[in-house]
A and B are shown apart, each in its own frame.
Chain A
């Protein structure tokens, strides 16, 4: 149980284009989903917290107009990187919190490797 999927697993795009990454909780409802960014050999940095049916909360320094997050249902959140540039190339990981859970565990997706040419 508690499986989170991400699609696509890898994406290569040209500079200036937009890319959408999907995060789905497959066997549970997730009221809250999180988006992280991980550079090579570094830790996970939280970008934003996404709550179903409401606007995402972005961490300091994260451009909300560049990284658009939508959490339209209890099982799906999307991250759209708009007007992508080479410096946006990174590994993006989503996670989900089990609805109603009273602890802070998050279940992680397998990640999406974004390369912007």
Chain B
């Protein structure tokens, strides 16, 4: 079974600064996907970014980028130019066989 570990229960950052959220996972599979989902106070899950394990290039989506280290089984999320609207719970997720396994989440607060 896969496990996903987010070691930072809470983090805070000043508006306009950069923050990195950590995620590690454990699997014996070679083909899989990794995701970061955002859950704001509304509790709607929103996809932030996706990474295919077979791709070496790190995924980027505007202010969001990942550092994917397959050998180390690490998948961190970097948020640049943080905005107040980025305040949310962030979940790292491992995807394989069309199922998702979520980490426990990191509560990110962006301070003005």
8 Å CB contact of B102 from A43, A103, A105, A107: A43
Tell yes or no: A110 within 8 A of B by CB.
yes
Number of A-B contacts (CB under 8 A): 56
By size class, the interface of chain A is 20 to 34
Q: Does A49 contact B (CB under 8 A)?
A: yes
**B43 and A43 contact, CB distance less than 8 A:** no
Q: Which of A78-104 contact B (CB under 8 A)?
A: 91, 93, 95, 97, 103-104
The answer on a CB contact under 8 Å between B50 and A93 is no
Give chain B residues whose Cβ lies under 8 Å from the Cβ of A111.
43-44
Expressed in whole angstroms, the Cα–Cα distance for A105 and B97 within the complex equals 11
A38 CA to B44 CA in the complex, in Å?
Answer: 12
Tell me the count of chain B residues lying within 8 A, CB to CB, of chain A.
Answer: 24
- B33 lies within 8 A of A104 (CB): yes
Which chain B residues lie closer than 8 Å to A106 at the CB level? 100
- The answer to whether B91 and A43 touch across the interface, beta carbons within 8 angstroms, is yes
> Given known contacts A42-B104, A46-B99, A49-B99, is B44 in contact with A105 (CB within 8 Å)?
no
Contacts of A95 in B (CB 8 A): 45, 100
Q: Which 5 A-B pairs have the closest CB atoms?
A: A104-B95, A108-B45, A104-B33, A43-B102, A43-B104
Q: A residues touching B (Cβ–Cβ < 8 Å)?
A: 32, 34, 38, 42-46, 49, 91, 93, 95, 97, 103-108, 110-111
